[in-house]
Structure 1
Amino acid sequence: MAVTIVDFDDLPARVRTAIEDETGPILKTETVSAGLNSALSARAHTAAGIVFLKGLRTDHRWVWTQQREADINPYVTPLAPRLLFHFVAEGWDVLGFEAIDGHHADYSPGSPDLPKVIEAMRRLGETRCPDIELRQADQRLAGYVDNPPEAELFKGNALLHTDWNNHNVLITNDGARLVDWGWATRGAAWLDPAHWIIWLIAAGHTPADAESQAAALPTWGTAPPPAVDAFARASNSLWTEIAGSEPDRWSGRMMNASTQWLRHRMSESGSRRQNP
Protein backbone atom coordinates (compact mmCIF):
# COMPACT_ATOMS: atom_id res chain seq x y z
CA MET A 1 0.00 0.00 0.00
CA ALA A 2 1.68 3.19 -1.21
CA VAL A 3 1.83 6.23 1.04
CA THR A 4 0.03 9.25 -0.41
CA ILE A 5 1.43 12.51 0.94
CA VAL A 6 -1.10 15.00 2.30
CA ASP A 7 -0.65 18.60 3.37
CA PHE A 8 -1.70 19.77 6.81
CA ASP A 9 -4.60 21.75 5.33
CA ASP A 10 -5.96 18.59 3.70
CA LEU A 11 -6.42 16.81 7.05
CA PRO A 12 -9.93 16.53 8.48
CA ALA A 13 -10.86 19.61 10.48
CA ARG A 14 -11.10 17.66 13.72
CA VAL A 15 -7.57 16.29 13.24
CA ARG A 16 -6.19 19.79 12.66
CA THR A 17 -8.01 20.97 15.77
CA ALA A 18 -6.63 18.06 17.81
CA ILE A 19 -3.11 18.95 16.68
CA GLU A 20 -3.55 22.59 17.65
CA ASP A 21 -4.91 21.50 21.02
CA GLU A 22 -1.40 20.10 21.56
CA THR A 23 0.71 22.74 19.84
CA GLY A 24 -1.28 25.91 20.19
CA PRO A 25 -2.32 27.91 17.11
CA ILE A 26 -0.32 26.94 14.03
CA LEU A 27 0.96 29.94 12.07
CA LYS A 28 2.17 28.03 9.01
CA THR A 29 3.20 24.53 7.96
CA GLU A 30 5.83 23.14 5.61
CA THR A 31 5.25 19.73 4.05
CA VAL A 32 8.39 17.59 4.11
CA SER A 33 8.62 15.42 1.01
CA ALA A 34 11.76 13.43 1.87
CA GLY A 35 10.06 10.74 3.94
CA LEU A 36 8.87 7.45 2.49
CA ASN A 37 6.76 6.05 5.30
CA SER A 38 4.37 8.83 6.34
CA ALA A 39 1.33 10.39 4.72
CA LEU A 40 1.62 13.44 6.96
CA SER A 41 5.16 14.78 7.27
CA ALA A 42 5.28 18.47 8.10
CA ARG A 43 6.91 21.16 10.19
CA ALA A 44 4.32 23.20 12.07
CA HIS A 45 5.33 26.71 13.13
CA THR A 46 3.75 28.05 16.31
CA ALA A 47 4.41 31.00 18.59
CA ALA A 48 6.30 28.65 20.91
CA GLY A 49 8.47 27.09 18.21
CA ILE A 50 8.37 24.36 15.59
CA VAL A 51 6.84 20.89 15.94
CA PHE A 52 7.43 18.06 13.50
CA LEU A 53 4.20 16.24 12.62
CA LYS A 54 4.09 12.68 11.38
CA GLY A 55 0.94 10.71 10.61
CA LEU A 56 -0.72 7.80 8.84
CA ARG A 57 -4.30 6.86 8.20
CA THR A 58 -5.46 4.22 10.66
CA ASP A 59 -6.33 1.81 7.82
CA HIS A 60 -2.78 1.85 6.43
CA ARG A 61 -0.88 -1.41 6.83
CA TRP A 62 2.08 0.43 8.37
CA VAL A 63 0.07 2.31 10.99
CA TRP A 64 1.53 0.04 13.68
CA THR A 65 4.87 1.85 13.14
CA GLN A 66 3.32 4.94 14.73
CA GLN A 67 2.80 3.12 18.04
CA ARG A 68 6.29 1.61 17.74
CA GLU A 69 7.79 5.08 17.49
CA ALA A 70 5.80 6.23 20.51
CA ASP A 71 6.83 3.20 22.55
CA ILE A 72 10.54 3.37 21.73
CA ASN A 73 10.97 7.14 22.09
CA PRO A 74 11.61 7.35 25.86
CA TYR A 75 14.48 4.89 25.48
CA VAL A 76 16.27 6.56 22.56
CA THR A 77 16.15 10.27 23.40
CA PRO A 78 18.23 12.43 23.13
CA LEU A 79 19.67 10.38 20.25
CA ALA A 80 16.19 10.76 18.75
CA PRO A 81 13.95 13.84 18.87
CA ARG A 82 11.64 13.90 21.90
CA LEU A 83 8.04 12.83 21.37
CA LEU A 84 5.63 15.59 22.45
CA PHE A 85 2.27 13.93 21.80
CA HIS A 86 0.52 11.00 20.14
CA PHE A 87 -3.18 10.63 19.40
CA VAL A 88 -5.68 8.91 17.12
CA ALA A 89 -8.63 10.89 15.75
CA GLU A 90 -10.94 10.84 12.73
CA GLY A 91 -9.10 7.95 11.09
CA TRP A 92 -5.63 9.44 11.60
CA ASP A 93 -2.75 8.39 13.87
CA VAL A 94 -0.58 11.44 14.57
CA LEU A 95 2.77 11.93 16.30
CA GLY A 96 4.31 15.26 17.27
CA PHE A 97 8.07 15.57 17.85
CA GLU A 98 10.44 18.35 18.76
CA ALA A 99 11.75 19.73 15.48
CA ILE A 100 15.45 19.28 14.77
CA ASP A 101 17.44 21.91 12.87
CA GLY A 102 19.94 20.09 10.72
CA HIS A 103 20.61 18.64 7.30
CA HIS A 104 20.22 15.12 6.00
CA ALA A 105 23.45 13.17 6.36
CA ASP A 106 25.79 13.11 3.38
CA TYR A 107 27.07 9.54 3.02
CA SER A 108 29.39 10.22 0.08
CA PRO A 109 33.10 9.32 0.33
CA GLY A 110 35.04 11.88 2.35
CA SER A 111 31.93 13.50 3.80
CA PRO A 112 32.51 15.26 7.14
CA ASP A 113 29.16 13.81 8.25
CA LEU A 114 30.45 10.22 8.37
CA PRO A 115 32.22 10.47 11.76
CA LYS A 116 29.04 11.93 13.29
CA VAL A 117 26.97 9.06 11.91
CA ILE A 118 29.47 6.56 13.28
CA GLU A 119 29.32 8.21 16.70
CA ALA A 120 25.51 8.08 16.70
CA MET A 121 25.60 4.41 15.75
CA ARG A 122 28.16 3.76 18.49
CA ARG A 123 25.87 5.41 21.04
CA LEU A 124 22.95 3.35 19.83
CA GLY A 125 25.08 0.23 20.19
CA GLU A 126 25.56 1.12 23.86
CA THR A 127 21.81 1.62 24.43
CA ARG A 128 20.07 -1.21 26.24
CA CYS A 129 17.26 -2.78 24.26
CA PRO A 130 14.05 -2.05 26.19
CA ASP A 131 11.59 -4.73 27.21
CA ILE A 132 8.88 -3.64 24.78
CA GLU A 133 7.35 -5.25 21.72
CA LEU A 134 9.81 -5.06 18.82
CA ARG A 135 10.26 -6.84 15.52
CA GLN A 136 12.86 -9.63 15.58
CA ALA A 137 15.67 -9.45 13.02
CA ASP A 138 15.58 -13.18 12.29
CA GLN A 139 11.84 -13.02 11.60
CA ARG A 140 12.11 -9.94 9.39
CA LEU A 141 14.74 -11.59 7.19
CA ALA A 142 13.47 -15.17 7.32
CA GLY A 143 11.78 -14.86 3.93
CA TYR A 144 14.99 -13.75 2.20
CA VAL A 145 17.65 -16.20 3.37
CA ASP A 146 18.83 -19.06 1.15
CA ASN A 147 18.33 -21.62 3.90
CA PRO A 148 15.94 -21.19 6.87
CA PRO A 149 18.62 -21.91 9.52
CA GLU A 150 20.59 -18.87 8.30
CA ALA A 151 18.01 -16.56 9.87
CA GLU A 152 19.21 -17.75 13.27
CA LEU A 153 22.47 -15.89 12.59
CA PHE A 154 20.62 -12.59 12.93
CA LYS A 155 19.25 -13.22 16.42
CA GLY A 156 20.44 -11.08 19.31
CA ASN A 157 19.40 -8.72 22.07
CA ALA A 158 20.66 -5.43 20.66
CA LEU A 159 18.41 -2.48 19.85
CA LEU A 160 18.60 -1.76 16.12
CA HIS A 161 17.30 1.13 14.04
CA THR A 162 17.66 -0.77 10.71
CA ASP A 163 16.54 2.04 8.36
CA TRP A 164 19.73 3.95 7.61
CA ASN A 165 18.35 5.99 4.74
CA ASN A 166 20.36 9.21 4.98
CA HIS A 167 17.07 11.13 5.31
CA ASN A 168 16.64 9.43 8.69
CA VAL A 169 19.92 10.90 9.98
CA LEU A 170 19.92 14.62 10.73
CA ILE A 171 23.28 16.33 11.18
CA THR A 172 23.33 19.17 13.70
CA ASN A 173 26.11 21.21 15.26
CA ASP A 174 26.17 18.72 18.14
CA GLY A 175 26.23 15.50 16.11
CA ALA A 176 23.79 13.17 14.40
CA ARG A 177 20.18 12.62 15.48
CA LEU A 178 18.18 9.58 14.33
CA VAL A 179 14.55 9.82 13.24
CA ASP A 180 11.93 7.40 11.91
CA TRP A 181 12.11 4.60 14.49
CA GLY A 182 9.06 2.72 13.25
CA TRP A 183 11.15 -0.27 12.15
CA ALA A 184 13.17 -0.55 15.37
CA THR A 185 14.18 -4.17 15.81
CA ARG A 186 15.82 -6.55 18.26
CA GLY A 187 18.71 -8.56 16.84
CA ALA A 188 22.45 -9.08 16.48
CA ALA A 189 24.42 -5.94 17.34
CA TRP A 190 26.35 -5.92 14.05
CA LEU A 191 23.24 -5.64 11.89
CA ASP A 192 22.94 -1.84 11.97
CA PRO A 193 26.46 -1.36 10.55
CA ALA A 194 25.60 -4.03 7.97
CA HIS A 195 22.46 -2.17 6.90
CA TRP A 196 24.47 1.05 6.70
CA ILE A 197 27.07 -0.51 4.40
CA ILE A 198 24.50 -0.84 1.61
CA TRP A 199 23.53 2.82 1.92
CA LEU A 200 27.21 3.81 1.82
CA ILE A 201 27.75 1.84 -1.38
CA ALA A 202 24.67 3.50 -2.88
CA ALA A 203 26.28 6.85 -2.01
CA GLY A 204 29.44 6.05 -3.97
CA HIS A 205 31.69 4.00 -1.67
CA THR A 206 33.30 0.81 -2.85
CA PRO A 207 32.18 -2.24 -0.87
CA ALA A 208 35.63 -2.49 0.74
CA ASP A 209 35.59 1.18 1.77
CA ALA A 210 32.05 0.88 3.11
CA GLU A 211 33.14 -2.05 5.27
CA SER A 212 36.13 -0.03 6.50
CA GLN A 213 33.73 2.70 7.66
CA ALA A 214 31.68 0.09 9.53
CA ALA A 215 34.88 -1.27 11.06
CA ALA A 216 35.10 1.89 13.18
CA LEU A 217 32.20 0.49 15.21
CA PRO A 218 32.88 -2.03 17.99
CA THR A 219 29.70 -3.93 17.12
CA TRP A 220 30.95 -4.64 13.60
CA GLY A 221 33.89 -6.51 15.08
CA THR A 222 31.47 -9.03 16.61
CA ALA A 223 30.11 -10.09 13.21
CA PRO A 224 31.03 -13.65 12.13
CA PRO A 225 31.96 -13.53 8.41
CA PRO A 226 29.52 -16.33 7.46
CA ALA A 227 26.71 -14.40 9.15
CA VAL A 228 27.62 -11.24 7.21
CA ASP A 229 27.66 -13.27 4.00
CA ALA A 230 24.18 -14.59 4.80
CA PHE A 231 22.96 -11.06 5.52
CA ALA A 232 24.38 -9.78 2.23
CA ARG A 233 22.51 -12.50 0.36
CA ALA A 234 19.28 -11.82 2.23
CA SER A 235 19.59 -8.06 1.72
CA ASN A 236 20.12 -8.50 -2.01
CA SER A 237 16.99 -10.65 -2.20
CA LEU A 238 15.08 -8.03 -0.21
CA TRP A 239 16.14 -5.08 -2.34
CA THR A 240 15.57 -7.04 -5.54
CA GLU A 241 12.02 -7.70 -4.37
CA ILE A 242 11.49 -4.04 -3.46
CA ALA A 243 12.80 -2.91 -6.85
CA GLY A 244 10.56 -5.33 -8.74
CA SER A 245 10.54 -5.60 -12.52
CA GLU A 246 10.47 -1.81 -13.04
CA PRO A 247 12.63 -0.24 -10.33
CA ASP A 248 12.48 3.49 -9.76
CA ARG A 249 15.66 5.50 -9.27
CA TRP A 250 15.77 4.94 -5.50
CA SER A 251 15.02 1.22 -5.40
CA GLY A 252 17.22 0.52 -8.41
CA ARG A 253 20.13 2.28 -6.73
CA MET A 254 19.68 0.24 -3.56
CA MET A 255 19.32 -3.02 -5.49
CA ASN A 256 22.54 -2.28 -7.38
CA ALA A 257 24.36 -1.40 -4.15
CA SER A 258 23.26 -4.62 -2.47
CA THR A 259 24.40 -6.57 -5.55
CA GLN A 260 27.82 -4.92 -5.43
CA TRP A 261 28.21 -5.82 -1.78
CA LEU A 262 27.07 -9.40 -2.32
CA ARG A 263 29.64 -9.86 -5.09
CA HIS A 264 32.31 -8.44 -2.78
CA ARG A 265 31.29 -10.81 0.02
CA MET A 266 31.31 -13.78 -2.36
CA SER A 267 34.82 -12.86 -3.49
CA GLU A 268 36.01 -12.46 0.10
CA SER A 269 34.37 -15.74 1.07
CA GLY A 270 36.19 -17.50 -1.75
CA SER A 271 39.48 -16.04 -0.57
CA ARG A 272 38.81 -17.23 2.99
CA ARG A 273 38.18 -20.76 1.76
CA GLN A 274 41.40 -20.76 -0.26
CA ASN A 275 43.43 -19.28 2.58
CA PRO A 276 41.91 -20.59 5.82
Structure 2
Amino acid sequence: MPAPPVAFDELPSGARTAIEAETGPILKIENITTGLNSSLSARAHTIGGAVFLKGLRTDHRWVWTQQREADINPYVTPLAPALLFHVIADGWDVLGFETIDGHHADYSPGSPDLPKVSDALRELASLPCPDIELRHAEQRLASYVPHPADADVFKGNALLHTDWNSHNVLIAGHRAHLVDWGWATRGAAWLDPAHWIIWLIAAGHTPVSAEKSVALLPAWTLAPPRAVDVFTHASANLWEEIAGSAPDDWTTNLLDATRLWQQHRNDRS
Protein backbone atom coordinates (compact mmCIF):
# COMPACT_ATOMS: atom_id res chain seq x y z
CA MET A 1 0.00 0.00 0.00
CA PRO A 2 1.22 3.56 -0.71
CA ALA A 3 2.64 5.46 2.23
CA PRO A 4 0.02 7.98 3.49
CA PRO A 5 1.02 11.51 2.43
CA VAL A 6 2.21 14.03 5.00
CA ALA A 7 2.77 17.72 4.25
CA PHE A 8 6.04 19.31 5.32
CA ASP A 9 4.26 21.58 7.82
CA GLU A 10 2.79 18.48 9.46
CA LEU A 11 6.21 17.14 10.41
CA PRO A 12 7.15 17.43 14.07
CA SER A 13 9.22 20.52 14.87
CA GLY A 14 12.36 18.49 15.57
CA ALA A 15 12.31 16.98 12.10
CA ARG A 16 11.73 20.34 10.41
CA THR A 17 14.55 21.90 12.41
CA ALA A 18 16.96 19.11 11.44
CA ILE A 19 16.06 19.54 7.77
CA GLU A 20 16.56 23.31 7.85
CA ALA A 21 19.93 22.81 9.54
CA GLU A 22 20.95 21.18 6.24
CA THR A 23 19.09 23.36 3.75
CA GLY A 24 19.17 26.73 5.47
CA PRO A 25 15.93 28.67 5.94
CA ILE A 26 13.13 27.29 3.76
CA LEU A 27 11.35 30.07 1.90
CA LYS A 28 8.60 28.00 0.27
CA ILE A 29 7.43 24.40 0.23
CA GLU A 30 5.74 22.57 -2.64
CA ASN A 31 4.15 19.39 -1.36
CA ILE A 32 4.05 16.66 -4.02
CA THR A 33 1.29 14.05 -4.00
CA THR A 34 2.32 11.75 -6.86
CA GLY A 35 4.80 9.61 -4.93
CA LEU A 36 3.86 6.11 -3.79
CA ASN A 37 6.79 5.02 -1.64
CA SER A 38 7.24 8.08 0.58
CA SER A 39 4.99 9.79 3.09
CA LEU A 40 6.85 13.08 2.73
CA SER A 41 7.48 14.22 -0.82
CA ALA A 42 8.18 17.92 -1.24
CA ARG A 43 10.30 20.51 -2.98
CA ALA A 44 11.89 22.98 -0.55
CA HIS A 45 12.91 26.35 -1.96
CA THR A 46 15.82 27.99 -0.16
CA ILE A 47 18.22 30.86 -0.75
CA GLY A 48 20.66 28.35 -2.21
CA GLY A 49 18.12 26.76 -4.55
CA ALA A 50 15.57 23.96 -4.48
CA VAL A 51 15.98 20.66 -2.63
CA PHE A 52 13.78 17.60 -3.11
CA LEU A 53 12.75 15.99 0.18
CA LYS A 54 11.45 12.48 0.65
CA GLY A 55 10.83 10.81 3.97
CA LEU A 56 9.14 8.13 6.03
CA ARG A 57 8.38 7.73 9.71
CA THR A 58 11.09 5.76 11.44
CA ASP A 59 8.55 3.08 12.38
CA HIS A 60 7.28 2.60 8.81
CA ARG A 61 7.80 -0.91 7.42
CA TRP A 62 9.60 0.50 4.37
CA VAL A 63 11.92 2.87 6.24
CA TRP A 64 14.87 0.62 5.35
CA THR A 65 14.53 1.87 1.76
CA GLN A 66 15.72 5.29 2.93
CA GLN A 67 19.10 3.89 3.97
CA ARG A 68 19.24 1.84 0.79
CA GLU A 69 18.90 5.02 -1.27
CA ALA A 70 21.54 6.77 0.79
CA ASP A 71 23.97 3.86 0.43
CA ILE A 72 23.56 3.45 -3.32
CA ASN A 73 23.53 7.10 -4.34
CA PRO A 74 27.30 7.59 -4.75
CA TYR A 75 27.35 4.71 -7.22
CA VAL A 76 24.48 5.85 -9.46
CA THR A 77 25.03 9.58 -9.95
CA PRO A 78 24.72 11.36 -12.37
CA LEU A 79 22.12 8.87 -13.64
CA ALA A 80 20.33 9.68 -10.39
CA PRO A 81 20.14 13.08 -8.64
CA ALA A 82 22.84 13.53 -6.03
CA LEU A 83 22.00 13.02 -2.36
CA LEU A 84 22.70 16.18 -0.38
CA PHE A 85 21.89 14.97 3.12
CA HIS A 86 20.21 12.27 5.22
CA VAL A 87 18.69 13.20 8.57
CA ILE A 88 16.88 11.12 11.18
CA ALA A 89 15.13 13.24 13.79
CA ASP A 90 11.96 13.33 15.89
CA GLY A 91 10.57 10.09 14.47
CA TRP A 92 11.31 10.88 10.81
CA ASP A 93 13.88 9.66 8.29
CA VAL A 94 14.39 12.24 5.50
CA LEU A 95 16.59 12.37 2.41
CA GLY A 96 17.43 15.61 0.60
CA PHE A 97 18.33 15.43 -3.10
CA GLU A 98 19.36 17.90 -5.75
CA THR A 99 16.34 18.95 -7.78
CA ILE A 100 16.05 17.94 -11.41
CA ASP A 101 13.84 20.21 -13.51
CA GLY A 102 12.09 17.96 -15.96
CA HIS A 103 8.96 15.97 -16.63
CA HIS A 104 7.93 12.41 -15.87
CA ALA A 105 8.66 10.11 -18.76
CA ASP A 106 5.93 9.48 -21.31
CA TYR A 107 5.89 5.77 -22.13
CA SER A 108 3.13 5.91 -24.75
CA PRO A 109 3.80 4.57 -28.26
CA GLY A 110 5.78 7.03 -30.36
CA SER A 111 6.86 9.14 -27.39
CA PRO A 112 10.14 11.02 -27.91
CA ASP A 113 11.05 10.03 -24.34
CA LEU A 114 11.42 6.33 -25.19
CA PRO A 115 14.94 6.54 -26.70
CA LYS A 116 16.09 8.52 -23.67
CA VAL A 117 14.79 5.84 -21.33
CA SER A 118 16.55 3.22 -23.44
CA ASP A 119 19.77 5.19 -23.06
CA ALA A 120 19.25 5.24 -19.29
CA LEU A 121 18.86 1.47 -19.31
CA ARG A 122 22.15 1.17 -21.23
CA GLU A 123 23.88 3.52 -18.81
CA LEU A 124 22.60 1.61 -15.80
CA ALA A 125 23.71 -1.69 -17.31
CA SER A 126 27.23 -0.30 -17.66
CA LEU A 127 27.52 0.49 -13.94
CA PRO A 128 29.17 -2.09 -11.68
CA CYS A 129 27.03 -3.45 -8.88
CA PRO A 130 28.41 -1.95 -5.65
CA ASP A 131 29.46 -4.13 -2.75
CA ILE A 132 26.67 -2.94 -0.46
CA GLU A 133 23.69 -4.70 1.05
CA LEU A 134 21.14 -5.26 -1.70
CA ARG A 135 18.23 -7.61 -2.09
CA HIS A 136 18.66 -10.40 -4.63
CA ALA A 137 16.22 -10.81 -7.51
CA GLU A 138 15.89 -14.57 -7.01
CA GLN A 139 14.92 -13.98 -3.37
CA ARG A 140 12.42 -11.24 -4.17
CA LEU A 141 10.61 -13.38 -6.76
CA ALA A 142 10.98 -16.86 -5.28
CA SER A 143 7.48 -16.94 -3.81
CA TYR A 144 5.88 -16.08 -7.16
CA VAL A 145 7.22 -18.97 -9.24
CA PRO A 146 5.85 -22.54 -9.23
CA HIS A 147 8.96 -23.92 -7.53
CA PRO A 148 11.55 -21.87 -5.58
CA ALA A 149 14.36 -23.29 -7.72
CA ASP A 150 12.71 -21.70 -10.80
CA ALA A 151 13.81 -18.32 -9.44
CA ASP A 152 17.45 -19.25 -10.06
CA VAL A 153 17.04 -17.82 -13.59
CA PHE A 154 16.94 -14.35 -11.99
CA LYS A 155 20.39 -14.69 -10.39
CA GLY A 156 23.13 -12.35 -11.50
CA ASN A 157 25.49 -9.63 -10.39
CA ALA A 158 24.03 -6.67 -12.24
CA LEU A 159 22.73 -3.57 -10.49
CA LEU A 160 18.98 -3.27 -11.08
CA HIS A 161 16.55 -0.45 -10.37
CA THR A 162 13.42 -2.66 -10.77
CA ASP A 163 10.74 0.05 -10.34
CA TRP A 164 10.20 1.53 -13.80
CA ASN A 165 7.05 3.44 -12.94
CA SER A 166 7.16 6.47 -15.24
CA HIS A 167 7.09 8.72 -12.17
CA ASN A 168 10.54 7.37 -11.30
CA VAL A 169 11.99 8.53 -14.62
CA LEU A 170 12.56 12.27 -15.08
CA ILE A 171 13.32 13.63 -18.53
CA ALA A 172 15.53 16.72 -18.46
CA GLY A 173 17.03 17.98 -21.68
CA HIS A 174 18.42 15.10 -23.69
CA ARG A 175 18.56 12.47 -20.96
CA ALA A 176 16.53 10.48 -18.50
CA HIS A 177 17.28 10.41 -14.77
CA LEU A 178 16.22 7.62 -12.42
CA VAL A 179 14.87 8.39 -8.98
CA ASP A 180 13.53 6.27 -6.12
CA TRP A 181 16.27 3.66 -5.70
CA GLY A 182 14.88 2.10 -2.53
CA TRP A 183 14.14 -1.18 -4.31
CA ALA A 184 17.54 -1.50 -6.00
CA THR A 185 18.41 -5.15 -6.45
CA ARG A 186 21.24 -7.46 -7.51
CA GLY A 187 20.29 -9.86 -10.29
CA ALA A 188 20.37 -10.80 -13.96
CA ALA A 189 21.03 -7.82 -16.21
CA TRP A 190 18.01 -8.46 -18.46
CA LEU A 191 15.54 -7.97 -15.60
CA ASP A 192 15.37 -4.17 -15.81
CA PRO A 193 14.36 -4.22 -19.49
CA ALA A 194 11.81 -6.89 -18.56
CA HIS A 195 10.36 -4.71 -15.81
CA TRP A 196 10.15 -1.80 -18.28
CA ILE A 197 8.23 -3.93 -20.79
CA ILE A 198 5.36 -4.28 -18.31
CA TRP A 199 5.11 -0.50 -17.94
CA LEU A 200 5.27 -0.05 -21.71
CA ILE A 201 2.35 -2.43 -22.22
CA ALA A 202 0.43 -0.61 -19.47
CA ALA A 203 1.06 2.63 -21.41
CA GLY A 204 -0.53 1.27 -24.59
CA HIS A 205 2.14 -0.80 -26.36
CA THR A 206 1.42 -4.28 -27.61
CA PRO A 207 3.66 -7.01 -26.18
CA VAL A 208 5.37 -7.24 -29.58
CA SER A 209 6.14 -3.51 -29.78
CA ALA A 210 7.20 -3.41 -26.13
CA GLU A 211 9.71 -6.19 -26.71
CA LYS A 212 10.96 -4.38 -29.83
CA SER A 213 11.62 -1.31 -27.65
CA VAL A 214 14.24 -3.25 -25.69
CA ALA A 215 15.44 -5.56 -28.47
CA LEU A 216 18.68 -3.65 -29.09
CA LEU A 217 19.67 -3.35 -25.45
CA PRO A 218 22.74 -5.53 -24.83
CA ALA A 219 21.35 -6.73 -21.51
CA TRP A 220 18.13 -7.93 -23.16
CA THR A 221 19.96 -9.91 -25.82
CA LEU A 222 21.35 -12.05 -22.98
CA ALA A 223 17.88 -12.99 -21.72
CA PRO A 224 17.13 -16.71 -22.14
CA PRO A 225 13.58 -17.00 -23.57
CA ARG A 226 12.60 -19.56 -20.93
CA ALA A 227 13.80 -17.21 -18.17
CA VAL A 228 11.65 -14.40 -19.58
CA ASP A 229 8.67 -16.76 -19.56
CA VAL A 230 9.31 -17.49 -15.89
CA PHE A 231 9.53 -13.75 -15.23
CA THR A 232 6.15 -13.04 -16.82
CA HIS A 233 4.61 -15.79 -14.70
CA ALA A 234 6.19 -14.43 -11.51
CA SER A 235 5.19 -10.86 -12.37
CA ALA A 236 1.57 -11.85 -12.97
CA ASN A 237 1.46 -13.55 -9.58
CA LEU A 238 3.11 -10.54 -7.95
CA TRP A 239 0.61 -8.06 -9.40
CA GLU A 240 -2.28 -10.34 -8.49
CA GLU A 241 -1.06 -10.21 -4.89
CA ILE A 242 -0.71 -6.42 -5.01
CA ALA A 243 -4.17 -6.08 -6.57
CA GLY A 244 -5.87 -8.17 -3.91
CA SER A 245 -9.63 -8.48 -3.94
CA ALA A 246 -10.40 -4.81 -4.63
CA PRO A 247 -7.74 -3.35 -6.95
CA ASP A 248 -7.79 0.29 -7.98
CA ASP A 249 -7.62 1.33 -11.65
CA TRP A 250 -3.85 1.86 -11.54
CA THR A 251 -3.14 -1.61 -10.16
CA THR A 252 -5.65 -3.24 -12.48
CA ASN A 253 -3.89 -1.69 -15.46
CA LEU A 254 -0.53 -3.14 -14.39
CA LEU A 255 -2.06 -6.54 -13.70
CA ASP A 256 -3.78 -6.59 -17.09
CA ALA A 257 -0.53 -5.56 -18.82
CA THR A 258 1.39 -8.34 -17.12
CA ARG A 259 -1.23 -10.94 -17.99
CA LEU A 260 -1.28 -9.75 -21.60
CA TRP A 261 2.49 -10.18 -21.86
CA GLN A 262 2.31 -13.56 -20.17
CA GLN A 263 -0.33 -14.71 -22.67
CA HIS A 264 1.79 -13.46 -25.55
CA ARG A 265 4.77 -15.47 -24.29
CA ASN A 266 2.60 -18.55 -23.83
CA ASP A 267 1.11 -18.24 -27.32
CA ARG A 268 4.54 -17.86 -28.88
CA SER A 269 5.89 -20.94 -27.18
TM interval, short-chain normalised: over 0.9
Q: How does 1:114-153 map to 2 (within 5 A)?
A: 114-153=114-153
CA distance in 1, matches of 2:137, 2:218: 19
**How far is 1:214 from its partner?**
1.2
State the SS of the aligned residue for 1:247: coil
Q: Which residue of 2 aligns with 1:66?
A: 66
Distance 1:174 1:130 in 2: 27
Shift of 1:147: 1.8
Deviation at 1:2, TM superposition (A): 4.6
- Please tell me whether the aligned partners of residues 118 and 216 of structure 1 are also in contact (alpha carbons under 8 angstroms): no
Q: Deviations over 1:130-169 (max 9, x none)?
A: 0000000000000100122110000000000000000000
Q: TM-score, normalised by structure 1?
A: 0.96
Distance (Å, rounded) in 2 between the aligned partners of 1:24 and 1:2 = 30
Gaps in structure 1 of 5+ consecutive residues: 270-276
CA–CA separation in structure 2 for the residues paired with 1:47 and 1:33: 24
Which residue is equivalent to 2:55? Answer: 55
Equivalent positions of 1:75-224 (< 5 A) are 75-224=75-224
Is the 2:2–2:36 contact (alpha carbons within 8 Å) kept by the matching residues of 1?
A: no
Identity %: 71
Q: RMSD over aligned Cα, in angstroms? A: 0.7
Secondary structure of the corresponding residue to residue 241 of structure 1: helix
The answer as to whether partners of 2:103 and 2:172 remain within 8 angstroms in 1 is: yes
**CA distance in structure 1 between the partners assigned to 2:116 and 2:2 by the alignment:** 32
Q: Distance in 2 between matches of 1:116 and 1:181?
A: 19
Aligned residue in 1 for 2:246: 246
Tell me the secondary structure at the aligned position of residue 54 of structure 1: strand
Task: Quote how far apart the aligned CAs of 1:174 are.
Answer: 3.2
Structure 2 length as normaliser, TM-score?
Answer: 0.99
The count of residues paired between Structure 1 and Structure 2 equals 269
Q: CA–CA distance in 2 between the matches of 1:91 and 1:265?
A: 47
Unaligned runs of 5+ in 2: none
State how far apart, in whole Å, the 1-side matches of 2:2 and 2:188 are.
30
Determine helix, strand or coil for the equivalent of 1:69. helix
Q: What residue in structure 2 maps to residue 17 of structure 1?
A: 17
CA distance in 1, matches of 2:240, 2:14: 41
Which residue pairs with 1:272 in the alignment? Answer: none
- The CA deviation string for residues 150-200 of structure 1, in whole angstroms up to 9 with x for no partner, is 100000000000000000000000300000000000000000000000000
Three-state SS of the structure 1 residue aligned to 2:28 is strand
Task: Give CA deviations for 1:110-147 in whole Å, capped at 9, x if unaligned.
Answer: 00000000000100000000000000000000010012
Cα offsets for 1:10-34 (capped at 9, x unmatched): 0001111111100000011111111
Does the aligned pair in 2 maintain the 1:108–1:205 contact within 8 Å? yes
Report the secondary structure of 2:247's partner residue.
Answer: coil
1:53 and 1:94 in contact (8 A); partners too: yes
